[in-house]
Amino acid sequence: MIVRTTAEITGTGRQVSGETWTSKRIVLSDDDAGFSYHETTVEPNTRTPLHYPDYVEAVWLIEGHGTLADHDNDRTYPLAPGTMYLLDKHERHSIIADTRLRMYCVFAPAVPPGSD
């Protein structure tokens, strides 16, 4: 059994940041679960372009408001607490954060330690 808190991940190699986001990697490939599980925050008033050609990602937004832009299908979706989106076809997308966003993300296959 593995038990972790986001507090103990903060400031370690399991916390990775970009210009507009921070990801706390709660479960990674070295945990041998077959998926990874992350808490990700996105800073307010930012636009974050993303693309995961090697992963399927499910995202559950629990805090904040913004917009999800699907660049492959030329669509936008409002983001609010309780919204889930699944990038099942590796869509190129952007997260436009009106406020600070906090979300939980599941990746398959699992993300390895040390990746962005």
String of DSSP letters for 68-95: EEETTTTEEEEE-TT-EEEETT---EEE
pLDDT at 116: 77
pLDDT at 82: 98
Q: The domain containing residue 22 runs over which residues? A: 6-108
The answer to whether residue 83 sits within a structural domain is yes
pLDDT at 97: 98
pLDDT means over runs of 10, the chain (116 residues) = 96 96 98 98 98 97 98 97 97 98 98 88
The answer to whether residue 12 sits within a structural domain is yes
The answer to whether residue 23 sits within a structural domain is yes
The answer to whether residue 55 sits within a structural domain is yes
The answer to whether residue 116 sits within a structural domain is no
Q: How far apart are CA 56 and CA 50, in angstroms?
A: 13
pLDDT at 103: 98
pLDDT at 115: 84
The answer to whether residue 115 sits within a structural domain is no
β-pairing, 56-63 vs 101-108, is antiparallel
The answer to whether residue 61 sits within a structural domain is yes
Q: What is the CATH number of the domain that holds 93?
A: 2.60.120.10
Specify the number of domains making up the chain.
1
pLDDT at 114: 84
The answer to whether residue 114 sits within a structural domain is no
